[in-house]
């Protein structure tokens, strides 16, 4: 990851939370941080997690990559298993 220029990403993007009435002390919590590739962080931007997850599902169906290299539902599910709880994203 370090070789791929990683960024600290807000799982629930800071701007998204600001626009929905959350304070800085609420969105700058350690549990809201994840380390991701810089290019993915930029592409996700201020999208809600539901929008980002939806686009990943679309890229698994279409094969047209929007975020990273996950292009099949089994790969997506394996990534969720390795990094979170699959039920949190309702694959």
pLDDT digits (tens, 9 = 90+) for 10-45: 888 888 899 999 999 888 888 888 888 888 888 888
Place of tokens 């994203």: 89
Per-residue DSSP letter, 33: E
Amino acid 21: pLDDT: 93
Place of tokens 């919590």: 29
Same structural domain, 3 and 40: yes
Q: Containing domain of residue 18, as a range? A: 1-46
This prediction's pTM = 0.68
Count of domains forming the chain: 2
Distance CA 20, CA 28 (A): 14
Distance CA 28, CA 45 (A): 16
Same structural domain, 1 and 30: yes
Amino acid 81: pLDDT: 82
Same structural domain, 56 and 89: yes
Same structural domain, 54 and 26: no
Q: Are 10 and 43 in contact (CB under 8 A)?
A: no
């Amino acid at each position: 990851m370090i070789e791929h220029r990683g960024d600290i990403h807000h799982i629930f993007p800071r701007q998204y939370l600001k626009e929905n009435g959350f304070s800085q002390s609420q969105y700058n919590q350690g549990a809201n941080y994840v380390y991701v590739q810089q290019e993915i962080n930029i592409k996700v931007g201020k999208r809600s997690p539901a929008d980002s997850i939806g686009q990943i599902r679309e890229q698994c169906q279409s094969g047209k990559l929007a975020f990273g290299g996950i292009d099949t539902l089994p790969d997506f599910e394996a990534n969720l298993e390795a990094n979170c709880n699959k039920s949190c994203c309702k694959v």
